[in-house]
Structure 1
Amino acid sequence: MTSPRKHLVKDFNHFITCYVCKGYLIKPTTVTECLHTFCKSCIVQHFEDSNDCPKCGIQVHETNPLEMLRLDNTLEEIIFKLVPGLREKEQQQEIEFWRSRKSKENGEDGPRSKRSRLDAENDDGGDGDYHRSDPQIAICLDCLRNNSLVEENIVRGLMKKFIRCSTRVTVGTIKKFLSLKLKLPSSYELDVLCNGEIMGKDHTMEFIYMTRWRLRGETVKLIYRPPLKCVWYYRFTSKVR
């Protein structure tokens, strides 16, 4: 009986390394047009200068290639299991990053909460729940009121529009939260915008803070509104009547 063959991590490097930085994929993000996967920070930075995939050269999107990106959480977990210590190393680097971005105005660590900073400083190296040390971010959810649908109370403002959540929370989760709070139909999906630009459902709060929030204040302001197709339909039916 033959013994099972042992595989080394380097045998899988072709599948778990980034084409751009040549390191292990961190927050692996797939381009939906060609299904090539890169580190999220690598592909986002690349799209600042080009709309083409850095690996195959295909045009991802004419104007906004970021809309064609999808996070691959399953692949991320596989990589963390294959490479010992990678998760812990990335967490430590993330903590050091936010510490290095201390605001000169108020002395705070960007969007990290005080509790998260204390947890990081008091960490004794145990195998605790790593989600407890996630950087936190303050979000203001404001309703766009300059269209007729809001006036008809289909979408309204929140009583409490300020929330604090993990920087890993996605826009899709924010939409679900709003739907529950506003008691919207399950099929009704809001548009969420930052600085006038519609955010994709897989965009994380960290991604939005780093790439879209120009003010760089601790609280990120997101605007939600009815989808444009609903506005057009409402205006069209109103004219018909």
Structure 2
Amino acid sequence: MHLQNTHNTMESNAAMDATSPASRDVRQFHDLITCRLCRGYMIDPTTVDYCYHTYCRSCILKHLLRAVYCPECKASGGKEINELNLKSDDTLRSLIYKLVPGLYQRECKELADFKEQHDLVDEQTTDEPEFFTTTELISLSLEYHPAMLHQCGPGEVPPTIYLQCAAGLPVELLKRFLCSKYNIETDNGLVEVEVTYKDEVLPTNFTLMDVAYCYNWSRESPMAFCYRILLYDNKKR
């Protein structure tokens, strides 16, 4: 495959990075993703439909055992609420997992440990497990990014690569695999390999589990990644 250096590539890269998970500073969103009751990241975010304040589901349910008002509305004489006023916020939950890589896996492990310690059995009878495990195999594909195909000459378009990897595999290892395939030194400051999913550059510490949850991946088809190889005039600082 023939690679060309292009300033347009770097400009498009910057535009994509501006919306990628890696470019977001979680501290900017701290107040939005933190539960006011436990002061931790919200677990199963649940919103009060009357006032739109959001808490961990377990936190707000415990609060309602001893009070009938939203914790943030009580001082202003808010409306009485009960469990019927609570709505799960799947969008916020996905955002939290996206901003805090690894949080989803830790929650899964804690839940599994809790069930094991208390000898609990899932009542769900779905064909697929609710959570991934780090050792579960995930089918994935690696395709050269369509926007970069202009770099390839006739007959030089790289074939799509199909793999099966453990769900706990970090994106960093996918990058190392691609570097090995194209004989690129990982510490080469003039060449960079990026792995994307749905046109977002993935942080290297994201695992396949993070991608599966954050992007609502379905097991019905391989997890479709793209990759691109960028060349720079000078070493990146």
For normalisation by structure 1, the TM-score amounts to: 0.43
**Higher Rg:** 2
Higher relative contact order (CA 8 A, sep 6+): 2
